Amino acid sequence: MSSPVSLNLNYVALFVADHEWEQLHPAVSHAHHLLHAGTGKGAGLLGWMDLPDKEEISRIEKSAARIRKDADVFIVIGIGGSSLGAKAVISGLCHAFHSSLHPQKKNGPDVFFLGEHFGSDYTNELLEALEGKSVYVNVISKSGTTTEPAIAFRIVKTWMEHTYGEEEAKKRIIATTDREKGALKTMANAEGYETFVVPDDVGGRYSVLTPVGLFPIAAAGISIRDLIAGAEEARRDYTDERLSHNQAYQYAAFRNLMYQKGKQIELLSTYEPKLTDFSEWWKQLYGESEGKDGKGLFPASAVFTTDLHSMGQYIQDGRRHLFETVLFVRKSRNEIQIPQSASDEDGLDFLAGERLDAINQKAFQATMLAHTDGAVPNVFLEMNELNVFSLGALIYFFEKACALSGYLLGVNPFDQPGVESYKQNMYALLGKSGHEQRRTELEERLNEWQ
């Protein structure tokens, strides 16, 4: 069976010499052993390398089937790693206009996300959209005290209890949280919510193939068994420590070489708009894993050909501080042909009968040639088709490559100490108990700037 994800390095010879690859072999081998022996930094957070057991999958599927049967709307409340993975898979595989489909064409509820920001208008408009609908909620938080999702859950919980009554609301709320402790776990026990566990040995950005991501994905009507099967295929593909035999490690090594050559930005570009949210998941995975100790590539993303009409000029002729990783899907699930025109006003009749996929392929090739001519290194990740199996493989590919890449960079790829800085400042400015001195200091600084 051929791999569902293929790395293409055919166009990097202009930018990386053979001896540069060779010099990385020992470092890659060392990083591989740190990872697989569990002796590197953050070794307590390697649970993502072992996928969920069948009993856990069956329980997720059973609960998700109930939601698909009874719910018109399923709200996922979380932020960062608690929501980005599920959103990436759902938007990548479900109908782009699911909420506008006739009910008979839907295979699951409309899935909406909340708890990712403090947007008043968005929150209010979502609540308005729930009127008259059967609503279920999955609140995802290991601690239950992260401000954005905690506030969102307060608001939605109040709406649920007002709409359905307290007892019925309890049956419609599912919590994914810590196994034993934390504010959300305490509340779930007191209220009798159904619960799933956030594994102790998996960080949020690596958690999409745990109940954190699998439950919302299953509730949306996507086969999590196929998703995991794709990830398992990738795990088998990417176990070899030899750089020449492991494409996930080749991608990590290429990123490292670009970093050594002074590149500062990695642009993940895709020609498939349904992968837009996947790019957001990827940005957190790499930005939070590598952006520390004054190191790391800045992860950015673009959707082509759309962004070629806004950012294309900069990519082509701007500062040479970036390289591209291109996600390309060769065949869409649906085939559309260009129709014949009566009078050919736009001059495009020469494309009549051509598939839209084929035009997208030529746009990809044309852009690659232009960008490499403009001294922008390009590496490609190609999938024959965007389906649940290939997306599972792609997720595992990036997770494995990210872990190795972090070790090559010399950082802990599994912690995120810098994330706490804004949280502590926000708690102080909001007047949380215990932060009084910090609040005074911050307010003095703000007054100086105003």
At 71-82, the pLDDT tens digits run 999 999 999 999
211 CB neighbour count, 10 Å cutoff:
26
Rg (CA), the chain: 23
- Is residue 171 very low, low, confident or very high in pLDDT (cuts 50, 70, 90)? very high
Which DSSP category does 51 fall into?
Answer: P
> Could you tell me if residue 434 is inside a domain?
no
- 108 and 253 share one domain: no
Q: 220 with 108: CB under 8 angstroms?
A: yes
Using pLDDT thresholds of 50, 70 and 90, give the confidence band for residue 394: very high
Banded model confidence at residue 435, pLDDT cuts 50, 70, 90:
confident
How many structural domains compose the chain?
2
Cα–Cα dist 348/327, whole Å: 27
Tens of pLDDT along 44-87? 999 999 888 778 899 999 999 999 999 999 999 999 999 999 99
Judgement on whether residues 74 and 161 belong to the same structural domain of the protein: yes
How far lies 427's CA from each of 119, 141, 168, 340, in Å?
Answer: 18, 18, 33, 61
The answer to whether residue 209 is domain-embedded is: yes
For residue 249, give every residue at least 6 positions away whose Cβ sits within 8 Å of its Cβ, in sequence order, or none: 28, 32, 238, 241, 243, 401, 404
For residues 206 and 269, membership in a common domain is answered with no
Do 54 and 183 reside in the same domain of the chain? yes
Is the pLDDT at 2 greater than 80? The verdict is no
Interval 306-356: pLDDT, tens: 999 999 999 999 999 999 999 999 999 889 999 999 899 989 899 899 999
Name residues whose C-beta falls within 8 Å of residue 196's C-beta, 6 or more positions apart in sequence.
Answer: 59, 60, 174, 175, 176, 211, 212, 215
Pair (182, 59) in one structural domain: yes
Residues with catalytic annotation? Answer: 288, 423
The pLDDT of residue 444 is above 90: no
- Cis amide prior to 305 (ω within 30 degrees): yes
Per DSSP, 144 falls in state: S
245 in the same domain as 209: no
Cβ-defined contacts of 188-191 (< 8 Å, 24+): none
The predicted model scores a pTM of 0.94
The answer as to whether 210 is a domain residue is yes
At residue 419, the pLDDT reads: 72
Do 269 and 340 lie in one domain? The reply is: yes
Q: How far apart are CA 172 and CA 164, in angstroms?
A: 9
- Residue 210 gets which letter from DSSP? S
What is the mean predicted confidence (pLDDT) over 5-9? 95
- pLDDT at residue number 21: 95
pLDDT at 437: 83
The reported pLDDT for the residue numbered 396 is 97
On average, the pLDDT of the chain sits at: 94
List C-alpha distances in Å: 142 to 79, 157, 182, 312. Answer: 11, 18, 7, 40
**pLDDT of the residue at 61:** 96
In this structure, the number of other CB atoms found within 10 A of the CB of residue 67 comes to 24
Residue 367's pLDDT is 96
The pLDDT value given to residue 320: 96
Both 32 and 135 in one domain: the answer is: no
Question: What are 81's two structure tokens?
Answer: 């790693």
In this model, does residue 1 exceed pLDDT 70? no
Shared domain for 260 and 371, answered yes or no, is: yes
- Predicted pLDDT at 234: 95
Instruction: Tell me which H or E stretch contains 235.
Output: helix 224-237
CATH code of residue 39: 3.40.50.10490
Are residues 94 and 26 located together in one domain of the fold? no
Residue 422 lies in a domain: no
Q: DSSP alpha helices (H): ranges in 118-146?
A: 120-129
pLDDT tier at 417, thresholds 50, 70, 90: confident
Residue 284 sits in the same domain as residue 183? no
Short-list 421, 399, 411, CA closest to 295: 411
Q: Which of 178, 193, 227 is the last residue of a domain?
A: 227
436 in a domain, yes or no?
Answer: no
Q: Which DSSP state fits 174?
A: E
Residue 182, domain member (yes or no) = yes
Domain boundary among 161, 193, 227: 227
Q: How confident is the model at residue 438 (pLDDT cuts 50, 70, 90)?
A: confident
Q: Please state, in angstroms and as integers, the Cα–Cα distance from residue 148 to each residue in 114, 123, 350, 414, following that order.
A: 9, 12, 52, 22
- Final residue belonging to a domain, choices 195, 227, 259: 227
Cβ atoms of 93 and 386 within 8 Å: the answer is: yes
**Residue 195 lies in domain:** 47-227
- Tell whether the model's pLDDT for residue 123 goes beyond 60: yes
Q: Is 362 inside any structural domain?
A: yes
Which is more confident, 447 or 233?
233
Q: Do 345 and 398 touch, CB atoms closer than 8 A?
A: no
Domain identity same for 99 and 212: yes
Assigned domain for 415 exists: no
